[in-house]
Amino acid sequence: MEALDRRIVQLLAGDGRMSYTDLGRSTGLSTSAVHQRVRRLEERGVIRGYRAVVDYEEARIPVTALISITPFDPAAPDDVPDRLRHIPAIDSCFSVAGEESYVLKVRVSGPGELEDLLAAVRAAANVTTRTTVVLSTPWEDRSPLSSAPEETAELAPTAADVTSTDRVP
């Protein structure tokens, strides 16, 4: 991915509602050039969607936990994600290397709901669990692109991005 596209993705990862005009100001591109690039990034699947950032305390699901799961029978079909997909408290399902097969990130209202969720996960997927309760979250959902060093020398618009009203820096 070239530097201008990376910068656009960085900016949108930080604020998915950023206007094309503001993206243009930050990248030195015209609004129409930014719009075209964003559309191409969406078509290529680099940008897969936009979402709201939820305050889970306000949504009354303040407890986050990580549940490591291991199947009782390692020879059984690996269909755990399909068996658990129907459980809305599961935020993410990660296939991992190591002793466990998957790690689930879950969000619940309290310890009682977590206990019920663990029972549901064990029953639905025929697995053992090991749970870590998150005490605090200093940061989360940080895009690796947002910490990439800016390549300002490479951010100059290409001829395809310049319209008659643009001024190339």
Q: First vs last Cα of the chain: how many Å apart?
A: 22
CA distances from 39 to 20, 29, 30, 48 (A): 11, 14, 14, 11
Rounded to whole angstroms, the Cα distance separating 158 from 166 reads 11
Residues written for the chain: 169
Residue 37 tokens read as: 């690039």
- Tens digits of residue pLDDT in 16-52: 999 999 999 999 999 999 999 999 999 999 999 998 8
Rounded to whole angstroms, the Cα distance separating 63 from 114 reads 8
Q: pTM for this one?
A: 0.75
Q: How confident is the model at residue 51, as a pLDDT?
A: 87
- Tens digits of residue pLDDT in 121-168: 999 999 999 999 999 999 888 777 765 554 444 555 554 444 434 433
Mean pLDDT of 99-118: 97
Rounded to whole angstroms, the Cα distance separating 89 from 114 reads 9
Rounded to whole angstroms, the Cα distance separating 6 from 151 reads 9
Across-strand partners of 67? 104, 131
| Tokens 């990034």 belong to residue | 41
